[in-house]
Structure 1
Amino acid sequence: MRAETPAVRRRGVFVAVAVALFCVQLDFFALNLAVPGIAADLGVTVSAAQWVLSAYMLAIGCFFVVGGRVGDVFGRRGALLAGIALFAAGSVGCASAPGLGVLVVARIVQGVGAAFVFPVSVSVVTNTFPDGTRARALGAVFGVANIGTALGPFVGGGFTQGPGWRWIFWAMVPLSLLSLFVALVHVPHSRDVSAPRELDLLGCALIVCVPAGVTLAVERGDAWGWGSARTLLCFAVAVTAGVLFLVRERRARHPLVDLRLFRNVPYVLVTAMGSLSNMGYAVTVFLATLYLQGVRGLSPLLAGTVFLAPALLVAVSGPLGARLGRYMRPTAVMALAGVVAGTGMYALAGVEVWWLYVPVFAWCGLGLGLGWTFSGVATQQVVAPERAGEASGVLLTFLVTLGGIALAGTAAVISASTPQRPPEDVYDAILRLGGVVVLAVAVVVTAVRHRLERLGRITPRAVRAVGGDTAREPGRGS
């Protein structure tokens, strides 16, 4: 590995990371359309089979921060290899699971692996590519990953209707092994040299409890009852763990998360807009799935085909965001994504002509995809490279946890409203509300950005560095 030229090493890193993220995205988005088939094959209810999705999201949300920080502290190469290996092992377990219990456990293993792969992949690219090409590399990586997002519904519907849902997981195995081999050969060792090789284990335990409690309460609240003892206990555990985590991180000698990160206003703006975009994407895809199959009566395969147009623009949003980032500040790109996404969601609710549904849905995919995809690039532009894994882990925790909450909340609203109103009316009302909220936050991001300019906290206009990257824009003292 030492004999490699920098260019060869960077190409190897790109391939390893891009294939790993492609697998994670394809697996996640392919399984949504497979839940009914899993339920029928394993002889369980659809509600029970939903745990195949919930367990995965729970594992990811719990371990994003841990995975990112483990990479920064102990070495990004080892953390990435461990994450890919766990994901591959979980895929084998899912594909061969004899029942729902084993399948859910294997999905948790997959989720923990993915929770390491995502933030560590971002920090590996950040610390391997120089400033002049870093943003373009990240944009291209997310572009490849978003191809997995694009193909996910089509692959999931096709496999479920064809050879069976287990082939979704079998397809992950050779791709994961390819990524593992390339990473083993090409990914260099790197870590935050300013951090001692110590991990805040108590902080890890507390941060795991926060998304676990919230996600479990929201996912099961409708079934348990929102006022039930179990639901309230989960919320109480999450709140208590969150408070204790903040206290712990303020006092810890080597905190898991440096709370000064949240004094970096551009980082907070990017994280907020990215999280909201991911919530909008999760809700829009969920509602479109219900609309296409429940209202329009399309088969899983045909519904997946309709998803190709918006998903293709989601894939394009990765390289597009990197290109825009060469001429605009990260916060400006995020605000633009919010405007596109908000108008798309609101317009989709009013579409009645079938031929117009697909292009409007694609417009939604472009805005929402640009928002949550570019947030991963933008955070790397507004924080120091040595804290890349930590910043990425925090961002991804917000993205996944809030996305899961939005999805569960949407399902609860639909369940409570459909007896009184036609399903399509409920779907439209949710989309309109979501569009208005996304637009409003985009306006807030723009207003705060202009305020920071007047205060001199960020540069008054985009500054292009050597190679075309936008200069970092953390606030003073960040």
Structure 2
Amino acid sequence: MDLRPAGAPAPLISYRSAAGRWVLLATVLGSSLAFIDATVVNIALPAISEDLGGGAADLQWTVNGYALSLASLVLLGGSLGDRFGRKRVFLIGVGWFALASLLCGLAQSMEMLIAARVLQGIGGALLTPGALAILEASFAREDRARAIGAWSGLGGIGGALGPFLGGWLVEVGDWRLIFLINVPIAALVMLVAARHVPESRNPAAPRELDVAGVLTGAAGLGGLTYGFTAWPANGPGSPEVLIALLIGVAGLAAFVVTQRRSRHPMLPLGIFSARAFTGANLVTFLVYAANGGVFFLVVLNLQVVAGFSPLASGLALLPVTVLMLLLSARAGALGQRIGPRIPMTAGPLIAAAGLLWMSRIGPGASYWTDVLPPVIVFGLGLCLLVAPLTATALGSLDDMYAGVASGVNNAVARAAGLLSVAVLPLAAGIGTGNLTDPADLHPTYRNALMICAALMLAGAALAAALIPTHLAAHTPTDTPTPTDATRAHATTAARSADTPVRTYCDVAAPPVHPRHDA
């Protein structure tokens, strides 16, 4: 029987307790739903196209429908959890994700699948920021770093298993299983979370939500994505393309205006007065745009052009995930010791070399001689880059803005991947071709990988120019005044930082840290 007064916060739990293990299970499995979904769908694209039909634009929207709603709403998801309860919003997100996954698995047309993918992204935006916020709010101060480290490491293992699972399901079963398998996992997450995860919220969270920012940001990203995706089939002079691009540009302009005027903006523009923070996010945009193109096109090329099976294609990029799981913590320690500029400059250069090598993968390619060596080079470049990049994005501002900084960096990475999948096939010359036709895909793939390599080189140049040798944390003068709750969290974070955390950096986007000031 619970004898606590109504509204009293739940007692903090220990990492080694049974309660702590239950909370970890719920957050790891819940996060894995979104993490794995971001990788397995690419493996199933040829099978989806064969079953439901559709051209290049339909395959792009199968990926981007999810990415668009997730990128547009992930910051809002964190704010809703702070205001209405992190457990409550997390449970809603998991349930929403499960229902949308069921619709994806039952889709009878490309239009139905794309619509269900948009709904799936909304669920992902609600559950993704909630997992880390629950860990931060539930565990005792001395156990938080260990809990977050365990969540990160186990999430990395889940990310590594995702391509294998997706390829195996497509090969021995049906592409629909990659969505339907989410339903029982989500049911388990909801059962565990409902029974064992304590509720928490931020009492200092503002009552107002930045609805204008959400709507204008979504309109901007959606308009640009639709316009660039429709361009190859309709031409640049098509009214459909021109109107969509105009909506996109106007939406992003309106987003900037609303963020300047809002009392509680999702994106406080004053934080960009910190040069290192601005530089880190510009590098993030370029690097994750390249990553988005790579993970979209390489798996397609291996199946359609090189003749790999879905399982072999899914496993082809597994070394990247394994390398990041093993080396991210060491790369972060290196960046802390010598400063972020050198690894953030060298990492993209090495990754670009791997991409130029990977662009040569064609018909009859051998995994051991043509695929694995460049994949390892590319993965080593990401290992050297990603952890210092994430640390710089967070460390270039005062600790009290860590939640905002991480949320912005995550949103930038996801927006970059979204626009990359929309723009790259167009820039690489797909025209009215089909991404599942070897004759159309092979030259498009080669050109696109070269463009991705150029994006990496541009990221290296920006890092060399804008990232300092060593970080000096500061608070920009025109950022909002921190609340007492934010200051309290900064003190807690500083104390918790004494415990080392083994961090796994995902290739889809940096981890979302809880927003304590939202």
**If the length of structure 2 is used for normalisation, what is the TM-score?**
0.76
Residue 147 of structure 1 corresponds to: 157
Residue 436 of structure 1 corresponds to: 457
Residue 346 of structure 1 corresponds to: 353
Residue 468 of structure 2 corresponds to: 449
Residue 37 of structure 1 corresponds to: 47
Deviates more, 1:394-403 or 1:272-281: 272-281
Residue 184 of structure 1 corresponds to: 194
* 1:296-353 residue CA offsets vs partner (Å, 9 max, x unmatched): 3322222223222223224445xx33x5546744994586255234313314424779
The answer (yes or no) to whether the contact 2:430–2:444 under 8 Å persists in 1 is no
Q: Name the SS for the 1:6 alignment partner.
A: coil
Q: Distance in 2 between matches of 1:124 and 1:380?
A: 20
Q: Is 1:414 equivalent to 2:428 in the alignment?
A: yes
Q: Distance in 2 between matches of 1:281 and 1:223?
A: 25
Q: Which runs of 5+ in 1 are unaligned?
A: 458-462, 471-478
Q: Distance in 1 between matches of 2:32 and 2:387?
A: 13
Residue 498 of structure 2 corresponds to: 466
Q: Decide which of 226, 229, 236 is 1:219's aligned counterpart.
A: 229
Residue 394 of structure 1 corresponds to: 408
Query: Aligned ranges for residues 353-392 of structure 1 at < 5 Å?
Result: 354=366, 355-356=368-369, 357-368=371-382, 371=385, 390-392=404-406
The answer (yes or no) to whether the contact 2:259–2:266 under 8 Å persists in 1 is yes
The answer (yes or no) to whether the contact 1:16–1:179 under 8 Å persists in 2 is yes
Q: Distance in 1 between matches of 2:261 and 2:80?
A: 20
Measured after TM superposition, the shift of residue 167 of structure 1 is 0.7
Residues 464 and 193 of structure 1, relative CA distance in 2, 3 Å threshold: closer
Q: Distance in 2 between matches of 1:61 and 1:297?
A: 33
Measured after TM superposition, the shift of residue 398 of structure 1 is 1.3
Measured after TM superposition, the shift of residue 3 of structure 1 is 6.5
Residues 391 and 427 of structure 1, relative CA distance in 2, 3 Å threshold: closer
CA RMSD of aligned residues (A): 3.8
Q: Is 1:80 equivalent to 2:90 in the alignment?
A: yes
Residues 455 and 139 of structure 1, relative CA distance in 2, 3 Å threshold: closer
The answer (yes or no) to whether the contact 1:68–1:389 under 8 Å persists in 2 is no
Measured after TM superposition, the shift of residue 252 of structure 1 is 2.6
The answer (yes or no) to whether the contact 1:273–1:335 under 8 Å persists in 2 is no
Residues 141 and 223 of structure 1, relative CA distance in 2, 3 Å threshold: farther
Q: Distance in 2 between matches of 1:304 and 1:62?
A: 28
Q: Distance in 2 between matches of 1:327 and 1:92?
A: 44
Query: Aligned ranges for residues 250-399 of structure 1 at < 5 Å?
Result: 250-316=260-326, 320-321=328-329, 324-325=331-332, 328-329=335-336, 332=339, 336=343, 339-350=346-357, 354=366, 355-356=368-369, 357-368=371-382, 371=385, 390-399=404-413
User: Which amino acid is 1:359 matched to?
Assistant: P
User: Which amino acid is 1:466 matched to?
Assistant: D
Residue 515 of structure 2 corresponds to: none
The answer (yes or no) to whether the contact 1:324–1:333 under 8 Å persists in 2 is no
Q: Distance in 1 between matches of 2:69 and 2:116?
A: 11
Q: Distance in 2 between matches of 1:276 and 1:340?
A: 13
Q: Name the SS for the 1:193 alignment partner.
A: coil
Q: How many aligned positions are there?
A: 461
Residues 37 and 96 of structure 1, relative CA distance in 2, 3 Å threshold: same
Q: Distance in 2 between matches of 1:331 and 1:126?
A: 29
Measured after TM superposition, the shift of residue 373 of structure 1 is 6.7
Q: Is 1:243 equivalent to 2:243 in the alignment?
A: no
